[in-house]
Amino acid sequence: MNTQIANRNIFSDDPEIEYCSLVPHHERKKIGQFFTPFPIAEFMAEWIIGNKECKKILDPAVGLGIFFRAMISKGVEEDYNLIGYDIDDNILKYAKDIFDRIPSARVNLQKMDYLLNDWENKYDGIICNPPYLKFHDYKNKKEILSTFESKLEMKLTGFTNMYTLFFLKSMNQLTNLGRAAYIVPSEFLNADYGKNVKEYLIKGETLRFIIIVDFETNVFNESITTSSILLFANDKYNTDVEFIKIRSLDELNALRHYIMSYPVSRIRRAIVRSNQLDPKKKWRAYYCDMNGDKYKNLVPLITFGKVVRGIATGDNDYFCFSKSKVEQYNIPEKYLLPCLTKANYATKHFFTLDNFNSLKEKDKPVFLLNAVDLDDKNLVEYLKLGEKTEVNNKYLTSHRNPWYTIENRPPAPILVTVFSRGGVRFVRNEAKVYNLTSFHCIYPHPVLMFTEKIDLLMAYLLTDISQEIFNDEKREYGDGLDKFEPNDLNNAKVVNLDIINKEDEEKILRYYYTYRQKEINDENITEVKNKLNEIFYEVLQK
């Protein structure tokens, strides 16, 4: 492949745009390559070179060297030592071609896995857009876990995203007065695995700014993620962490003077002393107004029931059956469970037996294989087919014994979408079907299960107020996409059902049953929904 990037303006996004046109998206995604827009690279570069002590500067995942190009565009050349690492031979060849056109710049590019090497060196500046990869997708994950636990004396979970490891390591490689700048997905700020990461950030006392980049369009054009810019300084001026949320490049540009005047200017309101940050809570509470704070009589959802994820098969195409596939392989009914396999199969708030039968007749995959025994020859043949096609060697199946068993997740009375745009959706599972991981399961406590309180809870979950309050716990992935993990929902606040008086309860249930009937019949539910909103609003104000 010709590695020459021919565009004329290397001090722009042109090299990245051209590279993306030459290298397929799936190849870049495999190693977590997503590129930083040049205006953001300039902003981050200014933080580093704004400290005149920063001469030896590292980019641990250099890519096409956009940060070094941004620095060079600001006049950084002969007296700076710019060092870049990457694990991708191909992109390093492109990068070397680019910097060969700037002979006056001292840029040293090397093939190296930063996470496993270079632990002893110190740098005046470190700047990076690390690869966005889940930990289990990384080939050296066990070695990396061991290395980080040894070097940093911290325990990491298997759910940790690789990008966090880059800045955790970099914090320890800054010289006195050294600075670091990272652009990473903001997911870790609000994720369960982020607790250990945030604990280490607090302990390190070098984090100075967290700039939440909440643009209307994605920062990384091909990655659905909301990003954050982390700015570090290894100094003793203070240990304050400032949270700033921006929605456009214009707002980022307006920040330049304020950020570059550090440590003189620290006047914005969202400033928290490092030792006052709570690693256990979602840090969105430090940069967003929390909707639940406006209401009374709220308790965590786990007060009334527990949320767990749906069934993970390891290979949905293999384990899920449509009506025609059942006939093709002649699998007996006793080995099939009725199942919601996709979120868009339940588009309303009530999933009935009629809905299930409609999907079945449309030949949708609505059955889940459940090999409770090996008494049927057709089932045995199908399992042999799975082994022949190596379904048994996939990540999840290889960790099960036997590989074809499924998780114990009985039908849940209420389901909730994992991903959503425009609000999380709760579904009353009247058909009593099983569900895969596109839905989480809500299992109410027995006291609700056998009373009308489960309908009272569901009535609340239909309201706009509940949507507003649940937003406090969501994880934002950009492009309008939100995600809830089970613990996000368990900790989310809901109305305290126990304080609702009998009169209000009767009214709520009456409107709830009307809502159900109207939605099932495709009638307008606006008026009855407004009534539910009004009643719950009053309950939450008392």
> pLDDT (tens digit, 9 = 90+) per residue, 78-94?
788 999 999 999 999 99
Per-residue three-class SS string for 116-140: CCCCCCCEEEEEECCCCCEHHHCCC
Give, in words, the CATH class of 14-288: alpha beta
Sequence-separated contacts (24+) of 382-388 with Cβ below 8 Å: 382/329, 382/331, 386/318
**Three-state DSSP class for 299?**
strand
**Three-state DSSP class for 221?**
coil
Q: Is the CB of residue 19 less than 8 Å from the CB of residue 36?
A: no
Amino acid identity, position 251: E
Q: Which of 427, 326, 416, 415 is nearest to 368 (CA)?
A: 326
CA 81, 85, 91: angle at the middle one, nearest 5?
115
What is the distance of C-alpha 119 from the center of its chain? 28
Which tens digits make up the pLDDT trace of 5-25?
A: 555 689 999 999 999 999 998
Distances (CA, A) of 147 to 199, 255, 426: 18, 37, 42
Domain limits of the chain? 14-288, 300-312+407-539
For residue 268, what pLDDT is reported? 59
Average pLDDT estimate for 22-45: 91
CA 71, 77, 80: angle at the middle one, nearest 5?
85
Which tens digits make up the pLDDT trace of 203-225?
A: 999 999 999 987 655 555 555 56
- Token pair belonging to 19: 């590279």
Omega within 30 of 0 (cis) for the link into 15 = no
CATH number of 300-312+407-539: 3.90.220
Assign residue 334 a region (left: φ > 0; alpha: ψ between -120 and 50; beta: otherwise): alpha
User: Binning pLDDT at 50, 70 and 90, where does residue 3 land?
Assistant: low
Residue 26's CB is within 10 A of a number of other CB atoms, namely 7
